A and B are shown apart, each in its own frame.
Chain A
């Protein structure tokens, strides 16, 4: 049984978001990593890129499938996790500690409208 941190927000596409001082830290949920299975490649956007909510941010590839990472909020990409690109298997072992992208949110209200932990947990139940 997975537990979803209550200080995160979640998307229906299975990203988690942690908002801090107007910056969104983004990863994928435990449910998502279990669906994907063994993750072998991670492709992330360039720092400085402007993204809109719902844009494709990158690709997460497991042995069995490729899936896309979507921007949960609009804004500018301020950082990507290069260590995770080198060792993407970390996403399988600690999905909620494996951040992928940071975005300086241009419309912070977007984050407020995302799912909370309870709503997300019931979505993937």
Chain B
């Protein structure tokens, strides 16, 4: 067990590789109850969400979800979030565990400054969150719910019951695989977890820890806020221009992001693959002509692709596919190369 964002969490159950491969080929189960939920409701809820986040929340139908950034006035990350449209003027932001307090304070301060009719509630203690991920996740979960799972499209959600427990089920995840995230009342979460483990036996579903969660998300080239980007990194520098609603009127950081879009960024997150046998880990330096020009933000050996991969923040001139990178791995310079993302894309994704 390790301390993570104030929670005691298992790094692994049966082993990172075993769990990782289970999710890629069958199914895996994650307790991600540490994630935070902040709800924003009231007549001006949409206006506030539009102001706070980079993506265009007006495009969400009720029951739909989008990936977005909670931005600073400099266009950098307070956090990365999923925005759920629960009702016409009711949104739920799913935020990173370590940022719950900071995000809540930030949102409340912005809401107070702007005025308007909104209530901002830190609802994190009201939800446990269980992720069932993998090609067999739908089959396993469907055996425990009357919700029509094939009817839930990618990044949509529905309400119902799972194993007799009230639940909100979204087709989302942090693995690059098909799967679902299940919000339940914490008091009944254990029942849902046990029922999923039991139902998963037929497909050899594996409980998964933080270790596999990290290798899976990285293989899918999904960013980890706080590691790949933070309050010093703009949304464009993180390579996430697709979560900026350029047609939106105004939002926090819009001016900076528009300026960067026009003139280009100076540095950018680049996905890389090692050419030498080594793992470049978070914090290792990227070297050019004996000088540090960048830094590795994430890196691991991926159990499914069996390659050492990662992200590095480098000058934009180096963030091009095919560019060789030299990385200082504990005093030794090793070769890597910028590659296209994602590293892994699941087969037959619709």
Known pairs A37-B211, A38-B303, A40-B301; A63 contacts B278 (CB<8 A) = no
A40-B279, A40-B301 known; A63+B330 contact, CB < 8 A: no
Q: Which of B8-16, B245-253, B314-322 contacts A (4 or more CB under 8 A)?
A: B8-16
Q: Which residues of A contact B215 (CB under 8 A)?
A: 63
Point out the residues of chain B lying under 8 angstroms from A63, CB to CB: 16-17, 211, 215, 300-301, 303
B277 within 8 A of A: yes
Q: Is the interface of B mostly helix, strand, loop or mixed?
A: loop
Q: A38-B303, A40-B301 are in contact. Are A64 and B330 (CB under 8 A)?
A: no
Interface residues of A in 33-81 (CB under 8 A from B): 37-38, 40-41, 59, 61, 63-64, 66
Q: Which residues of B contact A92 (CB under 8 A)?
A: 15
Q: How many inter-chain contacts with C-beta < 8 Å in the A-B complex? A: 35
In the complex, what distance in Å separates the CA atom of A61 from the CA atom of B274?
A: 15
Minimum Cβ distance to chain A for residue B243 (Å): 29
CB distance from A41 to the nearest CB of B (A): 6
Q: Which of B16, B277, B330 contacts A38 (CB 8 A)?
A: B16
A and B contact pairs by CB, cutoff 8 A, 10 listed? A37-B11, A37-B16, A38-B15, A41-B301, A63-B211, A63-B300, A63-B301, A63-B303, A64-B11, A66-B281
Binding site for A on B (CB under 8 A): 11-12, 15-17, 211, 215, 277-279, 281, 300-301, 303, 308, 330
Q: Identify the A interface with B (CB < 8 A).
A: 37-38, 40-41, 59, 61, 63-64, 66, 92
Other A-B pairs, 11, CB within 8 Å; known A37-B11, A38-B16, A41-B279: A37-B211, A38-B15, A38-B303, A40-B301, A41-B301, A59-B330, A61-B301, A63-B211, A63-B301, A64-B11, A66-B279
